[in-house]
Amino acid sequence: MLGSLRRVTEVDRPTVVAPVTAGHGVNEFFSIVIPPIIPLLVSDLGITYGQAGVLVTVFFVMYSIFQLPAGIVADWVGKKRMFVAGLLGMSAGIVLATAAPTYEVLLLAQAVAGIGGSTVHPTGMSLISDVEGSETEGKAMGVFGFGGALGTMSSPLVVGGLAAVAGWRVALAGALVVGFAVTVYIMRVFPDDEPGTTRATRADGGRPTSVGETIRAAKGVLDVPLTRGIVLLFFVTLVLSMQHRAIQTYTTSYITAETGTSATIGNVAFFALLVGGSLSSLWAGDLADRFDRKRLGIAASVATAVLVAATLLVTPLVDGVPFGLLLAVLVVWFSIIGVMMYASYPVKNALVSEHAEATSSGGLFGVIQTGSALGSASGPALFGALSTQWGIVAAFPAIAGVSVVLAALFVALIVID
């Protein structure tokens, strides 16, 4: 077991991959603080599930708007600087959310956090792409994804747990303490002299000395080749994120409505989904370095579609089932969904890394992550509207249709190859 774990985490530049992975964890931790407390917000603020979904959507709308500018600027001012600044910006948004007196202020807080968070993915993934070779980039992206999954699965524990005993405001304050502490650690250990962590330079290694030279250098950063492969990867990322965020946002609420249990039980199943996803990310990253990445993406997408659609079977199966058995079934089922759902991420990121050049990798990942943000913004809002119209029990399994589209996009990548 230890040997297998060592194999899937052996990367070329751990001094860069480790802090970037920790920062990804903070980013995902902060980005998912709302879903575990949605039932409480609906009750406390008198809002609908659709309005609660908009809170998540606003966060990712800001992601959508600022991902590409963040990636481009990072190529110029330094990816490390932009990476850390984004984490601090997210902390500022959580501070505002903790004290928010109204739904409207919560919307503003999510917007602030989203602007900060928009820098983390394009800078983090480009830093990894810059320092890792073709034989280890899948592993490195898997480790990166593992950090994000750990951050995400910590939210139901920290936020959901604190909210259950002390309310959602205390829960957000606890999230802030955890996230900010990790950010301070990252600031202390991040190297200054690794490739990709410093600002862009001239061809002779110097800094721009005139406005014209600065404009020419910045224009070079914008030269991201929009080939058919990159365009398809943009849409793969968009659809993958739509599926991912919809499942994340509504798993707790779906289980609560479907089974009649408490939000705490829903969060336990949500946590199981994230545990499965975190482990899947590591091993899928290793597989992406050893097998055909596009076919791995197809297999993971089809499996996710089947599993999510099969949640329709939960209602007849759980009727009259003892509580302990119900909990065990939910934990196992949603952990398997997490394994399949998260397996696509390191595969997709490794495919993007194949197209990346160090001088413009921030811009490339900015383009790709704009797709991620658009999907993340539309997923919660779309399925929130479906839940308001038809009920969450009917809307949740419809996410399987998104997974089918994702599989078709991976097939298209094979066709154009």
Q: How many domains does the chain have?
A: 1
Contact between 308 and 399 under an 8 Å Cβ cutoff? The reply is: yes
Whether 302 is in a domain gets the answer yes
Report the percentage of the chain scoring pLDDT > 70: 85
Contact between 178 and 29 under an 8 Å Cβ cutoff? The reply is: yes
| Per-residue exposure over 21-34, b if at least 16 CB sit within 10 Å of its own CB, e if not | bbbbbbbbbbbbbb
Q: What is the CATH number of the domain that holds 230?
A: 1.20.1250.20
What's the Cα-to-Cα distance from 184 to each of 49, 147, 193, 403, rounded to whole Å?
Answer: 35, 16, 19, 37
**Mean pLDDT value of segment 368-388:** 79
Whether 211 is in a domain gets the answer no
Is pLDDT at 205 greater than 90 in this prediction? no
Q: What is the pLDDT of residue 139?
A: 80
Whether 21 is in a domain gets the answer yes
Which amino acid is present at 37? Answer: I
Contact between 289 and 353 under an 8 Å Cβ cutoff? The reply is: no
Whether 351 is in a domain gets the answer yes
pLDDT tens figures, 334-372: 899 999 988 888 888 888 877 766 556 667 777 787 788
Contact between 156 and 267 under an 8 Å Cβ cutoff? The reply is: yes
CA–CA dist 304, 334 (Å, integer): 11
Tokens standing for 307?
């599993």
pLDDT tens figures, 42-87: 888 888 878 887 888 788 788 778 877 877 777 777 788 888 889 9
Nearest CA-CA partner of 308 in 369, 255, 263, 387: 255
Contact between 33 and 172 under an 8 Å Cβ cutoff? The reply is: yes
| Per-residue exposure over 93-102, b if at least 16 CB sit within 10 Å of its own CB, e if not | bbbbbbebee
Q: Domain of 291?
A: 13-199+225-416
Whether 1 is in a domain gets the answer no
Whether 257 is in a domain gets the answer yes
Q: What is the pLDDT of residue 318?
A: 63
Is pLDDT at 302 greater than 80 in this prediction? yes
Whether 152 is in a domain gets the answer yes
DSSP secondary structure code for residue 192 in this structure = S
The more confidently predicted of residues 299 and 361 is: 299
CA–CA dist 79, 386 (Å, integer): 39
| Helix axes of 103-117 and 38-45: crossing angle, nearest 10 degrees | 150
CA–CA dist 124, 84 (Å, integer): 10
Whether 396 is in a domain gets the answer yes
